[in-house]
Structure 1
């Protein structure tokens, strides 16, 4: 929008009509004081400013406008019929004007200048937009690079830990064999097997996330008995974690359509996380039921919990709860993989948690093939 400032009504009206005839949006002000009020309220691309005005001349208005942060990019063209000497033209440029035109005005030249200023304004606006987007992208590259470096550091540590343990147990196993101590040898072998299983889980997670990134994570969708899958998962984890009591609440009578192995992977992740992040407790509740054609499954622990402000990040790739990242091992990708699995089942995943009161992770998925394959 263009602001015309002139104390003569006939000048305002005539110039306004000419500019409007060329499809410019125009506003007017009959004095310098009125112009300053309008500049504070509105955004203008260009101000056409008469120099010779009572009370406050054009130079004073321009100097005042230059102090307004919101108008710092606004172009000013001075118009003058009286002050046409070089010293006044110089003063106009020093006051912040980008051009100084003497009257009588050649309207065609004025229109060309206005169109040029508009073109420059539009180019600057686009350049600023590009610059802002580039800055955003640079910050996103920096953040991604930081996350990548952090992940590599964590992954290296997490993979090295079980390898070091396995190496140590193999050395102890060799000594026990040399001493013909079968009981101790069996004990070391079992502990080495546990560490190898941890290593295997880490590698599987890394392979899964690689497949997710490349769009190659395969799903074997078919109808299966979810009740059996849940019961078998609980039994397996109960045997390997006898210090915990895993209580199942609810049953599933209906058959479910989906990838049984992948959904079992989600349930295992929920339960193992509940065990890991609930030290000093011994109770885990798994609730399962079917309502309105959807399978609902939730695993609740009574452990350390998660602050509310971190709930929306918990399923992000590589995210680890800040307060616990140094106290518990893990790559920060298990829940991200779970969320991808549930998403592929056209379902929803979430968490309810209160610090020091425990966490409940849950998901819902449609049980029918039509709803899952709809997308």
Structure 2
């Protein structure tokens, strides 16, 4: 938008009409004081400013405008009939003007200058947008690099922990075997087996995320009984965490079309997280119901919960809640893999949580065959 500032009404009207004829949006002010008020409220690409005005003259207005951060990109053209000497022209430029035109005004010249300033403004605007976009992209590369480095560090630590434990148990086993202590041998073997299972789980997650990135995560979809899957998972979880009571609510008695192994992987992830992040509690609820044409499954715990900010990022790759990362082990990819599995089933995954009161993770998947998602 262009602002014309002139104390002579005829000049305002005639110049406004000419500019509007060429599709420029025009605003007017009849004094310097009025112009300053408008500059504070509105954004202008160009200000055409008369020099000779009662009260504040054009030079004073320009100097005041130059102090406004909002108007730092605004171009100013001075118009003057009386002050045509070099010293006035020089003062115009030093006051912040980009051009100084003497009256009577050649409208063709003025129009060319206005069009030129608009073109420069548009080019600057596009350059600023490109610069902003480039800076954002650079920051995104930096953030991605930081996350990658952090992930490598975490993965290295998480993989070394069970390996170190297994190595220690093997050394203890050697001593127990030499002593013929069968009971101790069995105990150490059991503990080594737990660590090997942990290591196997970590490696499986790393392989899954690699397959997701390359688009090679395979799905074997067919009909299966969701209730049988849930019962089997609960049995397995009871064996590994007998101190936790998993209460099953709902009984769908229905078949689901999907990859049974991958859906089981999601349910196990929900339950494992519920147990991990619920120290001091001993109960988890698993609900399974039919909602419309979909299957709804949720796992609710009464643990540490999450804040609103944490909820936004919980399904992102490599995300780990800062204040829990030192207390709880993990690579920060389990929920990301779970979300990709549910998406590939044409479903929806989500979480409800209150800090200090626990979390409820859930997913909804279609009950029937969906060819579009089967071909993904």
The TM tier, using the shorter chain, reads over 0.9
Structure 2 CA distance for aligned equivalents of residues 139 and 175 of structure 1: 54
Instruction: Summarize the Cα distance change of 1:91–1:315 in structure 2 as closer, same or farther, 3 Å threshold.
Output: same
Label 1:74 to 1:343 Cα distance change in 2 as closer, same or farther (>3 A).
same
Structure 1: runs of 5+ lacking an equivalent: none
SS at match of 2:137: helix
Corresponding residue number in structure 1 for 2:29: 29
Structure 2: distance between partners of 1:35 and 1:217:
64
Partner of 2:163: helix, strand, or coil? helix
CA–CA distance in structure 1, aligned partners of residues 116 and 292 of structure 2: 64
- Verify: 1:81 aligned to 2:75, yes or no: no
**Residue in 2 aligned with 1:124?**
124
**What is the DSSP-based 3-state SS (H/G/I as helix, E as strand, rest coil) of the residue aligned with 1:369?**
coil
Does 2:168 correspond to 1:168? yes
Q: How does 1:177-192 map to 2 (within 5 A)?
A: 177-192=177-192
Matching of residue 370 in structure 1 with residue 375 in structure 2? no
Contact between 1:78 and 1:101, CA under 8 Å: does it hold in 2? yes
Residues 197-226 of structure 1: CA deviation (Å, up to 9, x unaligned): 100100111111111122221111111111
Where do residues 142-221 of structure 1 align in structure 2 (5 Å cutoff)? 142-221=142-221
2:52 alignment partner in structure 1: 52
CA apart distance, 1:28: 2.1
**Change in 2 beyond 3 A, CA 1:82/1:311:** same
How many angstroms apart in 2 are the aligned matches of 1:373 and 1:124? Answer: 45
Tell whether the 8 Å contact from 1:346 to 1:371 is kept in structure 2 after alignment.
Answer: no
- Checking the alignment, whether the CA contact within 8 Å between 1:353 and 1:359 is kept in structure 2 is yes
**Could you say if the C-alpha distance between residues 155 and 102 of structure 1 is closer, same or farther in structure 2, counting changes exceeding 3 Å?**
same
Q: How far is the alpha carbon of 1:107 from its aligned partner? A: 2.3
| Alpha-carbon distance change, 43 to 353 in structure 1, aligned in 2, over 3 angstroms | closer
Tell me, in whole angstroms, the C-alpha distance in 2 between the residues paired with 1:201 and 1:66.
64
Bigger shift: 199-208 or 32-41?
32-41
Using the alignment, how far apart are the partners of 1:19 and 1:299 within structure 2?
66
Per-residue Cα deviation, 1:116-175 (whole angstroms, up to 9, x for no partner): 111111111111111111222222222222221211111111000000001111111122
**Residue 79 of structure 2 aligns to a residue in which SS?**
strand
1:353 match: secondary structure: strand
CA distance in 2, matches of 1:356, 1:15: 66
How many Å separate the matches in 2 of 1:269 and 1:319? 15
Residues of 2 paired with 1:129 and 1:209: CA distance?
Answer: 34
Relative distance call for 1:32 and 1:304 in structure 2 (3 A) is closer
TM, length-normalised to structure 2: 0.94
Q: Using the alignment, how far apart are the partners of 1:32 and 1:151 within structure 2?
A: 60
Distance 1:84 1:93 in 2: 13
Residue pair 2:344, 2:373 contacting (<8 A) in 1 also? no
Aligned residue for 1:4, secondary structure, equals: strand
Number of aligned positions between the proteins: 375
Report deviation, 1:371: 8.1
Q: Does the CA-based 8 Å contact 1:223-1:257 persist in structure 2?
A: yes
Q: Which residue of 2 aligns with 1:317?
A: 317
Map 1:90-109 onto structure 2 (within 5 A): 90-109=90-109
- Using the TM superposition, give the Cα deviation of residue 372 of structure 1 relative to its aligned residue in structure 2, in angstroms: 7.3
Partner of 1:304: 304
Query: Secondary structure of 2:331's partner?
Result: coil
Distance 2:233 2:162 in 1: 24
Whole-Å separation in 1 of the counterparts to 2:212 and 2:139:
24
Pair 1:271-2:271 in alignment: yes
RMSD: 1.8
Assess, with a 3 A threshold, how the Cα gap between structure 1 residues 13 and 144 changes in structure 2: closer, same or farther. same
Question: TM-score normalised to the size of structure 1?
Answer: 0.94
* Cα pair 2:296 2:362 within 8 Å, conserved: yes
Q: 1:326 to 1:109 in 2, by over 3 A?
A: same
Checking the alignment, whether the CA contact within 8 Å between 2:3 and 2:48 is kept in structure 1 is yes
Give the equivalent residue in structure 1 for 2:66.
66
